[in-house]
Structure 1
Amino acid sequence: MSNDGAFTYNGGKVDPGETQNIRYGISETYLGDPVRIPVTIINGSRPGPTAFLSAAAHGDELNGIEVVREVAHDWDLSNLAGTLVCMPVLNVPGFLAQQRYLPIYDRDLNRSFPGRQGSTSAKRMAYQIYTNFIEPCDFGIDLHTSTRGRSNMLHVRADMADAGTHRLALAFGTNVIIDSEGPDGTLRGEATADEVPTITIEMGEAHRFQRELIDEALRGVESVFAEYEMLDETTVRWPGWRTIITGDHEKTWIRADVGGIVDMHHDRGALVHEGDVICTITNPFKDDDISVSAPFTGLMVGILENPVVYPGNPLCHLVELGGQTKRVVELKRGSTSQEG
């Protein structure tokens, strides 16, 4: 943000009270045509923080795209305090190919931040995104889904040791926060290290829009805007119960020990107790059922959607619930599984 309140990027600026929809060039194709990402910048007429919303750093993760588009183009932001940078599709080449990674040498854009000029294609792209639209911000929300064939309940991933990120993660108002540093090269990890607190939102599965999760994420964004006083007549959300999964909690991807066809007995977000059968794995003749049981009581944050496995393939992501939180969840859910 410049001293006069304008949001500046390489090649332009957005003055207070102005909105711009731009297609910003970050690379070129094999034919020399520009690779451009869509960016909407809303600079409010009132002073306030600068925030970014981003999605589709992995090109096949679509739920977040609709969240960012609806905030930028369907919400009434006429009285916005501060500036909002909306980037619905970071990985345009992957989005066009409907695949997770950049088609160029199969690079992961979300392991390439903050990027570097004169480096790989992925890092050059990441550099353009990061320096123009991430570094000027005060905080950010990066939206993801699970990878192909798996599905996540909506939850936050955040470095809760960072005070700014801690505030942001709580404000989003999810039941589950997984406390971890972002891996090297991730948008949230690198931005947080550069004092731009950033959280990752995980929600649903790749290759589709899931309306109930999109709506839930929109409520989270609205709650964040209330926390930072960016919109009037909004309130910070309390999700009813909350657990922060730290290094002291048990958490694991439960993996198949045999190959076969999976019958999953619980949905994402289900509470399962130690010893409960999570799923059974059978052969094509259904004459050899193998039961897979929960090793501890916890929430199924992520589950397999593609019902076939090799030995070693993940079946579900289980995270431990503390005693008090477990009792609250049991009371609210009547000890039955339901979607998060």
Structure 2
Amino acid sequence: MSTDGTFTYNGGKVEPGERQNLRYGISETYLGDPVRIPVTVINGERSGPTVFLSAAAHGDELNGIEVVREVAHEWDLADLAGTLVCLPVMNVPGFLAQQRYLPIYDRDLNRSFPGREDSTSAKRMAARIFDNFVAPCDFGIDFHTSTRGRTNMLHVRADMSDEAVERLARAFGSNVIIDSEGSDGILRTEATRVGIPTVTVEMGEAHRFQRGLIDDALDGVESVFAEYELLEASAVRWPGWRTVIDDANEKTWIRADAGGIVDMHHERGSLVREGERICTLTNPFKDDNVAVEAPFTGLLVGVLENPVVYPGNPLCHLVELEPDVRRVVEREQAAGGT
């Protein structure tokens, strides 16, 4: 951002009080045609922080696209204090092919940040996104879903050792925060490293819009906007209960020890008790059933949706809850809550 509040990027600028929808070139096809990503920049008349909302770094992860679009184009942002940068589809080639990775050499855009202009295709794309639309920001939220065949309950992933990231993660108001620094090349990791606190929001599954999760995520964005005073009419959200999963909590990906067909007995977000059967693996004749039991009492943050596995395939993501949080979740689920 310039000192007069103008948002600038390579090729243009957005003055205070202006909105701009653009298709920004980040690469070229085999035919030399431009590969453009949609970007909306809303620069408020009042001063305030600059925030980015991004989605579809993986091209088949669609829930976040609708979150970012609705904030940009359906919310009343007339009184916005600050600047909002909306990147609903970062991985346009993957989105067009409806696949997770860039079709170009099967690269992962979300392992390519902050990028490099003289490197691979993925890193060149990442650099143009990062340098123009992430680097000018004060903080950001990057939306994801689980990979194909699995589903996640809505939760935040954040490096809670960073105070600015912790503030952002808690402001989003999710029940679950998974504390991790994140791998090299991930957008939230690389943005945070250069002083732009960023969190990942995981929600649902690939290849679809899930309205309930989208609405919950929109509530989270509104809560963040309230925390940082971007919108006066909103309020910071309290989710009713919250757990931060860190090294003090048991957590595990439970994997199949046999190939077969999976009968999953619990949904994402369910509390399961130690020794309780989470799912059953069977063969096509149903004459060889293998029970998969919970190794400890915990919450199913993610579960398998595609009911077929090879040995070693993940079945579910189980995390331990603190005793007081567990009691709240037990009461909530006993009363029919989610």
TM, length-normalised to structure 1: 0.98
Q: Give the CA deviation at 1:332.
A: 1.9
Q: Distance in 1 between matches of 2:24 and 2:241?
A: 41
Where 2:316 maps in the other structure, the secondary structure is strand
Q: Distance in 2 between matches of 1:188 and 1:289?
A: 41
Q: How does 1:165-184 map to 2 (within 5 A)?
A: 165-184=165-184
Matched residue, 2:195: 195
- Aligned-residue Cα RMSD (Å) equals 0.9
1:14 counterpart letter in structure 2: V
Pairing 1:252-271 to 2, within 5 Å after superposition? 252-271=252-271
Shift of 1:287: 1.3
Number of matched residues? 338
Please state whether the residue corresponding to 2:325 is helix, strand or coil.
helix
Give me the whole-angstrom Cα distance separating, in 2, the residues matched to 1:333 and 1:94. Answer: 38
Correspondence for 2:291: 291
Give the SS at the match of 1:261. Answer: strand
| Counterpart position of 1:235 | 235
SS of equivalent to 2:311: coil
Tell me which residue corresponds to 2:321: 321
Consecutive aligned runs of 4 or more in structure 1 exceeding 2 Å deviation: none
Q: CA deviation at 1:327?
A: 1.1
SS at match of 1:327: helix
Q: CA–CA distance in 2 between the matches of 1:77 and 1:83? A: 10
Q: Which residue of 1 aligns with 2:116?
A: 116
Alignment of 1:39-58 (within 5 A): 39-58=39-58
Specify the code of the residue in structure 2 equivalent to 1:126: A
SS in 1 for 2:254: strand
Q: Deviations over 1:68-108 (max 9, x none)?
A: 00000000000000000000000000000000000000000
Return the offset for 1:329. Answer: 1.1
Query: Within 2, Cα distance between the matches of 1:316 and 1:44?
Result: 43
Q: In structure 2, what is the Cα distance between the partners aligned to 1:298 and 1:320?
A: 4
- What amino acid does structure 2 have at the position aligned with 1:161? S
Q: Does 1:89 align with 2:86?
A: no
Q: Aligned with 2:156: secondary structure?
A: strand
Instruction: Please state whether the residue corresponding to 2:252 is helix, strand or coil.
Output: strand
Deviations 1:122-176 (A, max 9, x none): 0000000000000000000000000000000000000000011000000000000
**What residue is the counterpart of 2:207 in the other structure?**
207
Unpaired stretches in structure 1, ≥5 consecutive residues: none
In the alignment, the residues of structure 1 paired with residue 28 and residue 57 of structure 2 have an alpha-carbon distance, to the nearest angstrom, of 18
Tell me the secondary structure at the aligned position of residue 200 of structure 1. strand
Aligned position for 2:306: 306
Alpha-carbon distance between aligned partners in 1 of 2:32 and 2:242, rounded to the nearest angstrom? 50
Once the 2 structures are TM-superposed, how far is the Cα of residue 335 of structure 1 from its aligned partner?
Answer: 7.8
Please, which runs of 5 or more residues in structure 2 have no aligned partner? none
Deviations 1:21-57 (A, max 9, x none): 0000000000000000000000001000000000000
